[in-house]
Amino acid sequence: MLFAIDPVGKKATAVETASLADLGLRERHDLQEWVLSNPTILGEDLFIITDEFSRFDRTRERLDLLALDRQGKVVIVELKRSAVGSHAELQAIRYAAYCSTMTLQDLAEIHAEFRARRNVAITAEAAAEAMREFVEDPDFVEVDSKPRIVLGAETFPAEITASVLWLRECDIDIKCIRLRPHRVGEHLLLDASILIPLPEAESFIIRREKKEAKLERQAREAANSEEIQDLYGKIIEQAANHPAFRRKAPPKSSALYYRNIGRRSYLAAIRRAGEMRIELYIDEAEKEFNRNLLAALEEQRSKIEIDLGVNLVWDGSGNTRKCAILLSREPQADDTIEDVAAWAATWLTRFYDVFAPLYERAIRRAREIAGEELGPESGLASLS
């Protein structure tokens, strides 16, 4: 019970407990906006990346809030007036799976779009820097593949609390926040309290999870600083024989980027889970233009793939504004770091040699696809 105290009259009056439904309050237009205005409602300081996120591949589902915590973990926030009959935990698990492959760059671009919708202009680069500053870990460079989950609701049925407790035992970081409204005269109060994990156990759990996260981060950093950095160094050394690839220092991140195609697009070599990928990121303008540019290049797909001698993945359906053209190499049992570096350097330079001559005309073709008027000197019907 919540009581209003009159210190002069020495009286305690029970505060009227209301319900979100009876008050006519809704998830999207009320609960969600409250959290956007003050994320600490959810019991911690969060960096809100976006709301109503729906650009998942092959599904129309919509995530209430996507956030980042002070430890650099992606946080999935699902809000319900009542979790009864909602399967909120299963819904949030799906969202976490969808978001598990996102990178810091993805989040930065999503946040920049979110800010633009709210009439605040910010570049993706500035958004990424703001997130790095928000995270307390000074060595933070990239998000991991294990998002956290926060469920917020007025009531949680036993089947959800049982599921959440079991998921936590399976090392899924999920918590429940109970959101109870109270009316005091003309004022509305919100009591936000942690239901799971129990507050008295939370400090122990957080200390344990921080220790585990630190050990995991140290292992990841060791791998990056040794094997990955050695690999990228060898790729840089071999690719430097090509005039378009200047020698550079190995990156302190999970990918080796070369910004040398078109005006703002770039090539990248990425090693993840043993797989080596060469990616051409199309990043000339907003999403629709980038997709038009991908379509303009894809008009020449047969010729491009014949020139390269391989089939490529043409991806314009991602969560961000960028499109990509990819080639991947599965790990081989007898691979050496020299083998992988030679493969990556070869394909980086071959990608450049094939795509660079097409790019300016492809950009003009993309404008045609968008219906933009071009000057009389640019009347290209196609790239051929």
Per-residue pLDDT, 57? 61
Q: Mean pLDDT, to the nearest integer, of 241-268?
A: 83
Same domain, 248 and 341: yes
Residue 274 belongs to a domain: yes
Residue 208 belongs to a domain: no
Same domain, 248 and 293: yes
Same domain, 190 and 233: no
Taking residue 287's Cβ as centre, other Cβ atoms within 10 Å add up to 16
Same domain, 348 and 276: yes
Residue 212 belongs to a domain: no
Domain boundary among 142, 177, 202: 202
Q: Contact 192/41 with Cβ under 8 angstroms?
A: yes
**What CA–CA distance (Å, rounded) separates 202 from 212?**
15
Q: Contact 142/177 with Cβ under 8 angstroms?
A: no
CATH number, domain with residue 335: 3.30.1460
**What CA–CA distance (Å, rounded) separates 75 from 149?**
6
Same domain, 193 and 227: no
Helices and strands, counts by H and E, the chain: 10, 14
Per-residue pLDDT, 376? 40
The fraction of the chain above a pLDDT of 90, given in percent, is 38
282 pairs with which residues across the strands?
323
Per-residue pLDDT, 252? 66
Q: Mean pLDDT, to the nearest integer, of 133-151?
A: 90
pLDDT interval class at 222 (50, 70, 90): low
pLDDT digits (tens, 9 = 90+) for 168-204: 888 899 999 998 888 877 778 888 888 888 754 555 5
**What CA–CA distance (Å, rounded) separates 180 from 204?**
26
Residue 69 belongs to a domain: yes
Same domain, 197 and 226: no
SS3 340: helix
Q: Mean pLDDT, to the nearest integer, of 22-49?
A: 88
Indicate if the pLDDT at residue 378 is higher than 80: no
In the block, which residue shows the tokens 């919509």? 62
Q: Mean pLDDT, to the nearest integer, of 54-73?
A: 83
Residue 291 belongs to a domain: yes
Indicate if the pLDDT at residue 334 is higher than 50: yes
Q: Mean pLDDT, to the nearest integer, of 146-151?
A: 94
Per-residue pLDDT, 209? 62
Concatenating the DSSP letter of every residue in 51-79 gives: EEE---TT----EEEEEEETTS-EEEEEE
Range of the domain at 169: 3-202
Residue 281 belongs to a domain: yes
Indicate if the pLDDT at residue 116 is higher than 50: yes
Residue 230 belongs to a domain: yes
Indicate if the pLDDT at residue 248 is higher than 50: yes
pLDDT interval class at 381 (50, 70, 90): very low
Q: How many domains does the chain have?
A: 2
Residue 342 belongs to a domain: yes
pLDDT digits (tens, 9 = 90+) for 304-328: 999 999 999 998 865 567 888 999 9
Same domain, 55 and 196: yes
Same domain, 33 and 106: yes
Domain boundary among 159, 175, 202: 202
In the block, which residue shows the tokens 């956030």? 67
With 0.75 as the threshold, say if the pTM is over it: no
Concatenating the DSSP letter of every residue in 146-190 gives: --EEEEEES---HHHHHHHHHHHHTT--EEEEEEEEEEETTEEEE
**Considering the chain, what is the average pLDDT of its residues?**
84
CA angle 218, 48, 39 (to 5 degrees): 105
Same domain, 181 and 85: yes
